Amino acid sequence: MDKFKCLIRGAYGASNFGDDALLDVIYTKLLSKYSEQEIAIWGSNNAYISKCYPNSKAIVKKDLYKTRCNSLIYGGGTQFYDFGKARSSKQLWDLLLNPSYTLNKLKNKLFNKGIKPIEYDKEFYLAVGLGPFLPDSKVKENVLKRMKISNFVSLRDNKSMCFAEEGDVQAIKTVDICLSKTIAEGKKDNGRIAVVLRDWEHTHSEYTVEYLFEQVKGLELSEVDFITFGPDTKLKEFLKENNLSSFEWDPYSMTINEFLETFGNYKMVFSSRYHGVIYSVLLGIPVIALPIEPKLIQASIELNGVILYKPQMGFKHYKNQIENNYDKISADLLETKRLKFIESNKTIDTLLASL
């Protein structure tokens, strides 16, 4: 059985910038306590994790039920939810390709064996999000039971804190841990507008590209780049069909910091990606949050300087608002960055002291 001092769990390695950025921050912070060889990473996909972190073990399906760690850390992001959807064909195929993992999982389910995919001594939850959940969700019930006996729980939003209260879980509320990253202010000198959109399959939304494109056309499209933070197949197809300028997070050809260097050149950002908002704050770029999900609304409330988009106003209105108040908005964001840097690092320091 492989043994590690620490194992980080999250949706890493799936070409989603937000999750990859969370890993970047957590991993860097943990190096103050562990060597690279003492850390393992359990993500959604191993395709490029090993390339980015060559001295740490990337856990894959065949390693499960054969790995042990002292500390298991759920590191940021929405890791626990229940939309009630059946397994996809890809997930079913994955089970067939990993018979040892599938057999152990089946034994646990049928015979209540209690064997964990990862054996651990202590369990920690760092700035994670909970939900949404179906009524009477077993996923929710199980995670709240585990959180109740864990060594450290910090949650990133009010809704998650409400779930924790339901389960009598002692948790602290914190900000997104990417706000603990040390990063220089963006140059903001390319004169262009970044529009960060995404595919959204979970609920009906007016914040997908099909609904927003007419509004975006209120801007000069020659000055707009559409930025993709994840696979977003439908969005990328739309951009290609309409010959629209785009830039994407590609973990196979760039690092987090290289992507951010380009992102930091934009003069303003419209974003339906939560981490599009977070990194705009870190770079001091005026940003409008497109509330495709509740955490975008929360970001506009908790992060002074972030502007919440209202459909009746339109993109051009917000462009004019920012241009007329650019220095003030940028200054507010940089002050928010300073304050949240302190808050986020305080949470991480508390975790490190608990390990």
pLDDT tens sequence across 262-319: 999 999 999 999 999 999 999 999 999 999 998 999 999 999 999 999 999 999 999 9
Question: Distance between CA 166 and CA 81 in Å, rounded?
Answer: 15
- CA trace torsion 48, 51, 57, 61 (10° rounding): 20
Q: Does the residue 343 lie in any domain? A: no
Q: Does the residue 102 lie in any domain? A: yes
Indicate whether 131 and 273 sit together in one domain: no
- Asked whether the predicted pLDDT for residue 43 surpasses 60, the reply is yes
Contact between 275 and 263 (Cβ < 8 Å)? no
Q: Does the residue 160 lie in any domain? A: yes
pLDDT tens for 112-122 read 566 789 999 99
- Asked whether the predicted pLDDT for residue 70 surpasses 50, the reply is yes
Question: Residues 78-93: what's their mean pLDDT?
Answer: 68
Regarding predicted confidence, which is higher, 303 or 105? 303
- CA angle 13/225/242 to nearest 5° reads 95
Question: Residues 231-235: what's their mean pLDDT?
Answer: 96
Indicate whether 169 and 244 sit together in one domain: no
Residue where a domain terminates, one of 174, 201, 223? 174
Indicate whether 97 and 202 sit together in one domain: no
Indicate whether 136 and 199 sit together in one domain: no
Residue 77 pLDDT: 93
Per the structure, the complete domain to which residue 292 belongs is given by 193-338
Indicate whether 214 and 328 sit together in one domain: yes
Indicate whether 137 and 222 sit together in one domain: no
Non-local CB neighbours of 36 within 8 Å, separated by 6+ positions = 53, 55, 56
Contact between 68 and 119 (Cβ < 8 Å)? yes
Q: Does the residue 346 lie in any domain? A: no
Indicate whether 102 and 227 sit together in one domain: no
SS3 82: coil
Contact between 42 and 8 (Cβ < 8 Å)? yes
Specify the number of domains making up the chain. Answer: 2
Closest CA to 207 of 273, 269, 278, 133: 273
Q: Does the residue 179 lie in any domain? A: no
- CA trace torsion 21, 23, 29, 34 (10° rounding): -160
Residue 110 pLDDT: 45
Indicate whether 221 and 149 sit together in one domain: no
Question: Residues 238-244: what's their mean pLDDT?
Answer: 97
Indicate whether 170 and 197 sit together in one domain: no
- Asked whether the predicted pLDDT for residue 201 surpasses 90, the reply is no
Percentage of the chain modeled with pLDDT above 90: 85
Residue 273 pLDDT: 98
Q: What is the CATH number of the domain that holds 165?
A: 3.40.50
